[in-house]
Chains A and B, each alone.
Chain A
């Protein structure tokens, strides 16, 4: 019957027993001499004045120490674990069994799922009379399919409805769920049965979940069949314009994890039509990139690259969705033609989608046809033009203003996050650097991770720090400051549009930013952020969460309907954006009131890492997921909270009463002894 303490820190107070021990060691020397009839005999005894430490009044000391120990014990709130029943039932009592059945897509390999079901049924058949069992299906997530109970028919029925999904394997969620089920179980013997092909991907970076102490973990491995399996790793798409049209060139990466080389046929399908097939040979334990013939992209398409059938069908298809002409249209306004050379070249570099850049010396009357306007050192317009610019921004346009020598002080200031300040010349002394950068902001979060770019590297020799109004404006946000505290970059939201103001130029006249490695990614991020363009991703992986509203270019208030590849329909109410991808195929995002109107197509694919045949040894899983402990430890005790059990037992009360009784006895004995000693030592 082990003893537990609800507040074990109070046991530290037990160290107070040192106090009476020390007091009993101390011999108080009388300050005044005690009169004695004669020192005749005392003088004859050779003695040392040095005191020998020896405990005195041992009974009193024992009482005091015991009382202190009882007090400390009482405050620590002890409770007894009644494990007699547990120990007896640890090997013979009813069991709480949690069956974890792997339903990741790798279990769809020929024969695996049938063997898994057979193993699960065997576990159900092996349940004893008092046993309880629950069924958990898991892949990357875990779901309790059948709560704890003794209903075997229900368990079997649930097994019949299960199918492997499209997700990969992760053991952590399943083990956590199993642990929570066991922790709430009143039964003594607790057991977890994992039925899985034990894909190593399931361990991820490491398994952190631990089963409750004493729970046992049993692994029923489902060995994959020996059949050939090739997988499509990923498909990359190259865009180019040809004869006024956009042309897509796809390249498929085929992975052969098998021990034998294989020849494979890769087929490209677009909108249900087979466009091309290519054969390739892939060596053992190797991958091959198979280029596919280009196709013209004139309208949004959904496509698929697939391999011929093999032992595992789920990794033989790669779904994608492409839309033409996704380039961001940028107008660069600069006072002279060469001023924006670096900026224009940077925006012409790559990107999916890329930028279509136009350059002018002044703002045109109409900005229709542009997503973003970058004013690089040029004066902002005033009067009616400024009003037009504001209207354009308010309607969703993006404006990036880099302040330069020609930037006016009074024009279009209402659009900027702050008024341009006086010119600061730091040509002497090596220039200024950025001292503060808000890396949590969407425009700069690309640089948040280590080695993703040093924003403090550029040197600014001249700049016009923005004067942000002291009164807080929720639409204005400072993104970066110079090392002297001046505002270097700030954002202002103007209704649906975004305005970014940069306190220096985007060429080499005022700084060395264009020759820094971060120039290209920084300008891309600033322009894309101002344009509010979501990056186009032709294909996602199952378990990704995508912003369905952004993909559909729908506003916040529009109710949306999402149709999954399986045909399942999910409504996205106004304001909701997140769409978790659970199936491989094409998700369609539609307007809720016009179900035939497809606003966006989102492609989802299986995680190809699940195809890796490398398996996790069952022993390793058992070792990392279980804790040492007496078999069947907490049981009923764990069902009742510790505080409640402690309150029921109330051992502290008895300890406190015993301590008080001891202290009373100690007081009586101590006073009696002290009076006697005083009588003797008063001596007349």
Chain B
């Protein structure tokens, strides 16, 4: 799944420009704007009423929790029945947010980290609306902040995401190893990162989450300038994490650079797909709708599987 290429927005949704969102200071408001706008635009939402909606009664079977016996019905019919609900919506939803320095870069109004924060907040808000337990883990070379998944942690999550800042180095392998130890209960794990690492190492870091039974969605966030290298004059580029400098003539290496980036992304997508991990490449100039749609598709699949 590569949502970046879906040029057509979801029918009825408004265009939510990340640059506009960046002007909204309140992250909850941002998330609500994104999610509510998105939901209101949908004609059909198969997951509405999933959470505590009554489905049917069935006869009490030995072993059933006696707390689930409908005593009112017993009073009327003198038979034991238990209430059935359509689904259990209390899944874990955990966002893994990359806070390395490279995420703080932008060629336009929105840094990758801002974009990632909007995305994380929006997804968390959305899940919270579904009564999921939401949590967040920010990481650089290791875990920075950890908010365990809980139905009551939405505010904490938003606060944590809001105050987090991009900086420092990045070690995906080490960070995700720690994350894997923290996430005991399986659920939906969303990784938001620019994934500046060798695809094999990225896959080696992410795959254990999948092996633990998590549904994993990887949002690969990149700036348009990282995809195109639009510089004109000869210049020295400085790595924001390592501060290494390299003199380059963009005209000369642009084509090769784009090819390398494209190969990198295609490799990641292919390998993640093989591991049944959803992968979406996000361009910070693109609306958040794409990310949400990607998430919802995965969420729907998850609900069906239960």
Please report A residues at the B interface, Cβ cutoff 8 Å: 27-30, 33-45, 47-49, 51-52, 54, 56, 677, 679-681, 683-684
How would residues 119 to 130 of chain B score, 1 for a CB under 8 Å from any chain A CB and 0 otherwise? 000000000000
A255 to B254, CA, bound (A): 97
How would residues 247 to 279 of chain B score, 1 for a CB under 8 Å from any chain A CB and 0 otherwise? 111011100110011001000000000000000
B226 to chain A minimum Cβ distance, whole angstroms, is 6
Chain A residues contacting B249 (CB-CB under 8 Å) are 27, 47-49, 51-52
CB of A28 within 8 A of CB of B233, answer yes
Is B104 interfacial (CB 8 A cutoff)? yes
Residues from 203 to 251 in B contacting A, C-beta threshold 8 Å: 223, 225-226, 230-242, 244-249, 251
A677 to B107, CA, bound (A): 10
CB of A36 within 8 A of CB of B239, answer yes
CB of B248 within 8 A of CB of A33, answer no
CB of B260 within 8 A of CB of A41, answer yes
CB of A45 within 8 A of CB of B251, answer no
Is B49 interfacial (CB 8 A cutoff)? no
Chain A residues contacting B12 (CB-CB under 8 Å) are none
Is B1 interfacial (CB 8 A cutoff)? no
A408 to chain B minimum Cβ distance, whole angstroms, is 96
A48 to B253, CA, bound (A): 9
CB of A37 within 8 A of CB of B251, answer no
Chain B residues contacting A680 (CB-CB under 8 Å) are 107, 225, 230-231
CB of A33 within 8 A of CB of B105, answer no
A271 to B111, CA, bound (A): 125
A683 to B232, CA, bound (A): 14
Chain A residues contacting B111 (CB-CB under 8 Å) are 684
Contact A41:B257 (CB < 8 A) given known A28-B233, A47-B248, A680-B230: yes
Is B106 interfacial (CB 8 A cutoff)? yes
A33 to B261, CA, bound (A): 22
Chain B residues contacting A683 (CB-CB under 8 Å) are 105-107, 225
Please report B residues at the A interface, Cβ cutoff 8 Å: 102-108, 111-112, 194, 196-197, 223, 225-226, 230-242, 244-249, 251-253, 256-257, 260-261, 264
Contact A34:B240 (CB < 8 A) given known A39-B246, A679-B107, A683-B106: no
CB of A39 within 8 A of CB of B247, answer no
Residue of A nearest to B194 (CB): A37
Residue of B nearest to A54 (CB): B251
CB of A42 within 8 A of CB of B248, answer yes
Contact A37:B234 (CB < 8 A) given known A52-B249, A683-B107, A684-B111: no
A683 to B229, CA, bound (A): 12
CB of A51 within 8 A of CB of B234, answer yes
**Within the complex, which residue of B236, B244, B251, B261 is in contact with A34, where a contact is CB–CB below 8 Å?**
B236
A672 to chain B minimum Cβ distance, whole angstroms, is 13
A-B contact pairs, 19 of them (CB 8 A): A27-B249, A29-B236, A29-B247, A30-B236, A33-B236, A33-B245, A34-B231, A36-B237, A37-B105, A37-B226, A38-B196, A42-B246, A44-B260, A47-B253, A52-B252, A681-B231, A683-B107, A683-B225, A684-B104
B237 to chain A minimum Cβ distance, whole angstroms, is 4
Chain A residues contacting B247 (CB-CB under 8 Å) are 29, 49
A680 to B225, CA, bound (A): 7
Excluding A52-B251, A683-B225, 20 further A-B contacts by CB distance (< 8 Å) are A28-B233, A30-B233, A35-B105, A35-B240, A36-B239, A37-B241, A38-B239, A38-B241, A41-B260, A42-B237, A42-B248, A42-B257, A45-B253, A45-B256, A47-B248, A680-B107, A680-B231, A681-B231, A681-B235, A684-B104
Residue of B nearest to A684 (CB): B106
CB of A28 within 8 A of CB of B234, answer yes
Chain B residues contacting A52 (CB-CB under 8 Å) are 249, 251-252
A40 to B195, CA, bound (A): 11
A642 to B193, CA, bound (A): 75
7 cross-chain pairs, A with B, having the tightest CB-CB distances, nearest first: A37-B102, A33-B238, A30-B235, A33-B236, A38-B196, A45-B253, A36-B237
CB of A33 within 8 A of CB of B234, answer no
A383 to B161, CA, bound (A): 133
A653 to B247, CA, bound (A): 48
Residue of B nearest to A28 (CB): B233
**Within the complex, which residue of A33, A44, A48, A49 is in contact with B237, where a contact is CB–CB below 8 Å?**
A33
CB of B238 within 8 A of CB of A34, answer yes
CB of A36 within 8 A of CB of B196, answer no
A629 to B283, CA, bound (A): 70
CB of B260 within 8 A of CB of A33, answer no
**Within the complex, which residue of A34, A36, A45 is in contact with B260, where a contact is CB–CB below 8 Å?**
A45
Residue of A nearest to B245 (CB): A33
B151 to chain A minimum Cβ distance, whole angstroms, is 36
CB of B234 within 8 A of CB of A48, answer no
**Within the complex, which residue of A36, A37, A679 is in contact with B112, where a contact is CB–CB below 8 Å?**
A37
B233 to chain A minimum Cβ distance, whole angstroms, is 5
CB of A29 within 8 A of CB of B235, answer yes
Chain A residues contacting B248 (CB-CB under 8 Å) are 42, 47
Residue of A nearest to B223 (CB): A37
CB of A56 within 8 A of CB of B237, answer no
Chain B residues contacting A33 (CB-CB under 8 Å) are 235-238, 245
CB of A40 within 8 A of CB of B196, answer yes
Chain A residues contacting B264 (CB-CB under 8 Å) are 41
